[in-house]
Amino acid sequence: MRGKDVRLQDVVMRFGGFTAVERTTLTINAGEFFSILGPSGCGKTTILRMVSGFIRPSEGKVLIGDQDMGALGPARRPTALIFQNLALFPLMTNWENVAFGLEARGVDRKTRRDRAFDLLALVGLQGHEEKSPNELSGGQKQRVAIARALAVEPAVLLLDEPLSALDLKLRQYMRAELKDIQRKTGVTFIFITHDQGEALTMSDRIAVMKAGVVEQVGDVDTIYDNPRTPFVATFVGENNVIEGRVTATGDGFATVETPHGMLRGRDQDRLSVGERAMLFVRPERSARVNGVAPDNVFDARFERRDLEGSFVNLFFKAGADSFIVHEANRGGHGGLEGAVKVGFNAADAVVMRAGEIEAEADDA
Amino acid sequence: MSTQRQGRDWSTLVLDIYVVVFFVYLFAPLLVMSLAAFNAYEYPSVTQWRGWTLQWFGELARDDRILQGVVNSLIVALGVILVALPLGLSGAFILTRLRGRYNNLLYAILVSPLLIPGIVLGISTLIFWGRVDVPGGLFLTVMAQGSFIAAYSMLLFMARLQRQDRGLEEAALDLGASSFFMFRRITVPFLMPTILTAAVIAFLQSIENYNTTVFAIGGDWTLVTEIGSRFRFGLSPVINVIGVIFVVFTVIAASVYVLQKERERKRKLAR
Amino acid sequence: MHELLRSYGRTLTGVFITLTAFWMLIMILLPQAFMIEHSLWWIDRDDQLGMRIDRAYSDMGLLEFDLGQADTPEGKADIQERIDGLKADIAAMEAEETAPPKHYGFDNYTKMSALHFEIFLKSIGYSLAVTILALIVCYPIAFTIAKLSTPNKAALLMLGLIVPYAINELLRVYAWLMILDYQGVINSLLAWLGLVSFEDKSWVPFLEYSGSVFVALIYAYVLFMIFPIYNTVETLDRNQLEASEDLGAGVIRTHLRVVIPHAKPGIAVGCIMTFMLSVGSYSVPQIMTRGKSGDWFSQLIYRQFFESQNWNSGAAYSFSLVLVCLGFILIMMKVFKVGIRDIAK
């Protein structure tokens, strides 16, 4: 099996008066694990359905391995889709499910049976071949669905939030499993999810979408460390947000006047003085200030402490802003009561033009 | 509080008695009819009792018109199944997928045969095919019965299709199935239980239909129209024998159904 | 339609559309249209026509005889002219006899005789009564099965309803013939009580009353009222009943304010089915009158078709029946505020 690249060229998708996907150009490289991350209703599933051929874009082209897919239906594209609810055929045994694509291609029974057994072995389901999908656990069903999709030797595997129905433990296990299968097969994976943790752990690259627009495409570190927009900054991982007005720029840094004093961070939008700006800094790059002071320091009041296990979340309040600090759990978190000083280094903070951040309630 | 309690018991008692009376009302006539089949009196009666006999069963076995009627009924029922199921299924597919204002209109037209009297269906079929010189007979009976039995099966199929997971069909297409292959391998197996139910219901509806058939049957006859004409000429306990056979068949079928249900329930509990 | 094409492809979608179109046009709409068309014309057959033709021929024979006897050329010409005139008349009359003129109009509807019209109204009236009575009889039963029984008991009761329903309508009604017959079960009972006597034939002739058709109609169609009501009441949340009782509502108020509003669609369907089946029933009156004349509207229609051979007025009567049912359905939809989707389910 070999993956192929997928290119969307000036693709637009409209349903009646509603534009689900604004003009988008996107290249997904052959053999990479690519995630499309965004809240529900952002248009990520629409992109997936355009690639798989269930819908045709209102404008633009979808190319897979340099070939224009045009009006080709899902049956004739080199893609296979793993559905959110898996869509296993309940009236067939597991091996028949896996062999379905081959059956549709007219492969004889013996060959397709052998192939299905091989694939079920690959996903670790020996001994379950003759059972019905309904007799399997959630994780096992997941694997049947993957084997079924791989049976047709797709160049591109499309996954529509396939882990969302699983419980936390299983989900984490399946992440590794999926990544492993992707590496073994070399197939291009396009993974749709609203869970940023999922996207970060598995992907080579990520596209973050909001309201039909791709806000940023990049490898996982870029997305995490250099978010391009306030939405990406807040949707991917946690970020402290402080709003203010730019007072000075230079050397790739910007100084922002905030209610907590002057704060400095990397200037990624080449802001001009006087513009409204937002400063983002990750909780794990923030700290309580005891001895050596970082670039930015301000006063805050301690609110509460949540134990997460290996680290603790410390919640502070500075004026109307909340400020969170992650601290490694080394025991002994005394001396927090009342007013303290918190801070961070300018190199760890990003300043960008003020914009829309992720709404709290959307955090599914 | 206690008076209210008592009032409640009273009304429950009244309701229970009412239910019992109602079921006596339903079953007593059937008992009367069945009993007369065994009375050695040539006019169907339970009041003029001339002793037990099975002679009417023998006479039924020799009654060629009735036997031919049974054969004709079976032919018609088979024809109705073959006509009504594909029509009902097609209508259901279109109605579950068609959006917009024509949906309700089409729906109203397709279910209308259920809402107008059966004799009208027979008459309109007779007149329509009369124009192209097709006289009444078994074919017209199939057409007339089919028009409303197809509506029954359509409603059954629609109920089933509403519970369909469209994802399964999409998954099949995505895996490279042609629409034909997908239909045969995914859609039909999904609909199979309903196809069987619809066939049984179509069969029963067709066999027992009188009002529509009597207009469309022309010179031919089915079991039921033959029974109908016997009321005019030659009313005899042979009719009661047919009734007894119907009752026995129904009770057997019902018992099998109940036992089946019970076994299913036990199996579920055992799991 | 797009959706259909996408999942089932052109061929299958084509098959579905063709079959549905066949059903809609050939089995539903066109037959109705032809029936309506049939009801809008009649053949003006002159009963006297044959006699008039015969008379014209004999007149012509006389004239031909006169023609032989006539002596003056003028007289001959005169008679010849009259013969030609007669010949033309005969030709016209014979043409009319073989192809009588067809007239369009509403006469088939408006010329319904007073007797037939009375039967029409009586059938409607009886059917309405059957419907109301069936509703009163069935509502408690449906409610009991749906809400007051344990699942096992309910299943058994349902079976008890389905068994008689599965037995042929004719045979079910036939039982009542035996019960109401001159020497039937009821008269025997009365005789045993000494109220009537078979010897002097003082039995009560129940079958001669149209009430007997009424009794049998209720028996035949009662079940069509129960099932729809049961289906809707069954979906009512038991907690609603308890909430109503808890808030202090009595049994009657609970039914009026909670159960009946919920069961509306079922009640509407039950009424529509019962009414439609009763008013259009041919089997029940046919059996209760032992296939003899009888005075139910459906029997009238049957006679128009197969005894008077007057298909035109038969079609008109039949369409009147459709209009009555249609009117009833619309009224029920209005009264119960339900849509067509709720009705045919």
Q: Which residue of B has its CA nearest to C157?
A: B23
First vs last Cα of chain B: how many Å apart?
Answer: 44
> Quick check: C88 contacting B, CB < 8 Å?
no
How high is the pLDDT of residue A16? 83
CATH code assigned to B62-238? 1.10.3720.10
Residues C193 and C256 in one domain: yes
Q: How confident is the model at residue C203 (pLDDT cuts 50, 70, 90)?
A: confident
How high is the pLDDT of residue A28? 93
Question: What is the domain partition of chain B in residue ranges?
Answer: 62-238
Residues C176 and C213 in one domain: yes
Minimum mean pLDDT range among C55-64, C153-162, C238-247: C238-247
- DSSP class of residue A16? T
When computed from its CA atoms, the radius of gyration of chain A, rounded to whole angstroms, is: 24
> Quick check: C298 contacting B, CB < 8 Å?
yes
How high is the pLDDT of residue C51? 82
How high is the pLDDT of residue A361? 40
For residue B225, give both structure tokens. 């129209």
How high is the pLDDT of residue A332? 66
Q: How far is C76 from chain B (nearest CA, A)?
A: 51
Per-residue pLDDT of chain B (271 residues; tens, 9 = 90+): 444 445 567 777 888 899 999 999 888 888 988 998 898 888 888 888 888 888 889 888 899 999 999 999 999 999 999 999 999 999 999 999 887 778 889 999 999 999 999 999 999 999 999 999 999 899 999 999 999 999 999 999 999 998 888 889 888 988 888 889 999 999 999 999 999 999 999 999 999 899 999 999 988 999 999 988 888 776 888 889 999 998 898 888 888 887 887 788 777 776 5
Burial of B66 (0-12, 13-18, 19+ CB in 10 A): buried
> Quick check: B98 contacting A, CB < 8 Å?
no
Instruction: Find out whether A62 and A139 touch, Cβ atoms under 8 Å.
Output: no
Nearest to A75 among B165, B168, B176 (CB): B176
Q: Which residue of B has its CA nearest to C16?
A: B90
Please report whether residue C287 resides in a domain: yes
pLDDT tens across A111-128, in order? 999 999 999 988 888 899
Residue A305 neighbours by CB distance under 10 Å = 13
Q: Which residue type is seen at B100? A: G
How high is the pLDDT of residue A360? 54
Please report whether residue C44 resides in a domain: no
Which A residues, 57 through 76, put their C-beta within 8 Å of a C-beta on chain B? Answer: 73-76
More confident residue, C142 or B233: C142
How high is the pLDDT of residue A359? 66
- A345-to-A240, A258, B50 alpha-carbon distances in Å: 13, 16, 113
Q: How confident is the model at residue A364 (pLDDT cuts 50, 70, 90)?
A: very low
- A303-to-A61, A293, A321, B271 alpha-carbon distances in Å: 53, 22, 12, 53
Packed helices C211-234 and C169-180: angle between N→C axes, nearest 10 degrees: 130
Cβ of A81 within 8 Å of Cβ of B174? The answer is yes
When computed from its CA atoms, the radius of gyration of chain B, rounded to whole angstroms, is: 24
Nearest to B181 among A53, A104, A151 (CB): A104
State the average pLDDT over residues A89-107.
Answer: 90
Name the strand (E) or helix (H) holding A315: strand A311-318
How high is the pLDDT of residue A363? 39
Residues C334 and C251 in one domain: yes
**Complex prediction ipTM:** 0.88
> Quick check: A105 contacting B, CB < 8 Å?
yes
Cβ of B175 within 8 Å of Cβ of A85? The answer is no
Residue A132 neighbours by CB distance under 10 Å = 16
Helix, strand, or coil (residue A343): strand
Cβ of B231 within 8 Å of Cβ of C291? The answer is yes
How high is the pLDDT of residue C344? 59
Q: What's the rounded Cα separation, in Å, for the pair C128 and C138?
A: 15
**Containing domain of residue C70, as a range?**
49-100
Tell me which residue of A263, A240, C254, C34 sits closest to B8, measured CA to CA.
C254
Instruction: Find out whether B158 and B198 touch, Cβ atoms under 8 Å.
Output: no
Minimum mean pLDDT range among A62-71, B135-144, C206-215: C206-215
How high is the pLDDT of residue A362? 40
More confident residue, B156 or C159: B156
Neighbours of chain C (3+ CB pairs under 8 A): B
More confident residue, B93 or C70: B93
Residues C31 and C148 in one domain: no
**Optimal mutation site among B163, B165, B174, interface A, most CBs of chain A within 10 A:** B174
Q: Tokens 């289906």 identify what position?
A: C231
Q: Which residue of A has its CA nearest to B191?
A: A91
> Quick check: C322 contacting B, CB < 8 Å?
yes
Please report whether residue C201 resides in a domain: yes
Residues C159 and C227 in one domain: yes
pLDDT tens across A263-286, in order? 888 988 888 888 899 999 999 898
Cβ of B229 within 8 Å of Cβ of C175? The answer is no
CA angle A167, A132, A94 (to 5 degrees): 90
Burial of A339 (0-12, 13-18, 19+ CB in 10 A): exposed
For residue A35, give both structure tokens. 């995630």
Instruction: Find out whether A199 and A34 touch, Cβ atoms under 8 Å.
Output: no
Residues C85 and C182 in one domain: no
**Optimal mutation site among A52, A72, A76, A81, interface B, most CBs of chain B within 10 A:** A81
How high is the pLDDT of residue B3? 43
Please report whether residue C34 resides in a domain: yes
Q: How confident is the model at residue C170 (pLDDT cuts 50, 70, 90)?
A: confident
pLDDT reading at C345 higher than 60: no
Percent of all residues in chain C with a pLDDT value above 90, rounded to a whole number: 23
Residues C29 and C53 in one domain: no
Tell me which residue of C307, C280, C127 sits closest to B210, measured CA to CA.
C280
Residues C93 and C135 in one domain: no
More confident residue, A223 or A338: A223
State the average pLDDT over residues A2-27.
Answer: 90
For residue B261, give both structure tokens. 């249900």
Residues C144 and C248 in one domain: yes
Q: How far is B68 from chain C (nearest CA, A)?
A: 18
How high is the pLDDT of residue B271? 59
Residue C115 neighbours by CB distance under 10 Å = 10
How high is the pLDDT of residue B260? 84
Instruction: Find out whether B146 and C22 touch, Cβ atoms under 8 Å.
Output: no
Whether the CA torsion A218, A224, A227, A233 is positive or negative: it is positive
Average pLDDT over chain A, rounded to an integer: 87
Please report whether residue C81 resides in a domain: yes
For residue A30, give both structure tokens. 């052959």
Q: What's the rounded Cα separation, in Å, for the pair C231 and C248?
A: 27
Residues C139 and C7 in one domain: no
Nearest to B167 among A75, A83, A104 (CB): A83
How high is the pLDDT of residue A23? 93
Q: How confident is the model at residue A333 (pLDDT cuts 50, 70, 90)?
A: low
DSSP H helices in B38-63: 55-62
> Quick check: C130 contacting B, CB < 8 Å?
no
Q: Into how many domains does chain C fold?
A: 3
> Quick check: B184 contacting A, CB < 8 Å?
no
Highest mean pLDDT among A15-24, C15-24, C300-309: C15-24
- Phi then psi for residue A339, to 5 deg, are -80, 135
- Phi then psi for residue A240, to 5 deg, are -85, 140
Which A residues, 117 through 176, put their C-beta within 8 Å of a C-beta on chain B? Answer: 148-149, 151-152
Q: Which residue of A has its CA nearest to B192?
A: A91
**Optimal mutation site among B5, B18, B26, B49, interface C, most CBs of chain C within 10 A:** B26
CA angle C29, C31, C37 (to 5 degrees): 100
pLDDT reading at C48 higher than 80: no
Q: What's the rounded Cα separation, in Å, for the pair C40 and A328?
A: 94
Q: Which residue type is seen at B147? A: S
Q: What's the rounded Cα separation, in Å, for the pair A252 and A250?
A: 5
How many residues would you count in chain B? 271
Count chain A–chain B contacts defined by CB atoms under 8 A.
Answer: 61
Most distant CA pair in chain A, distance: 76
Highest mean pLDDT among A156-170, C166-180, C193-207, C268-282: C268-282
State the average pLDDT over residues A99-109.
Answer: 90
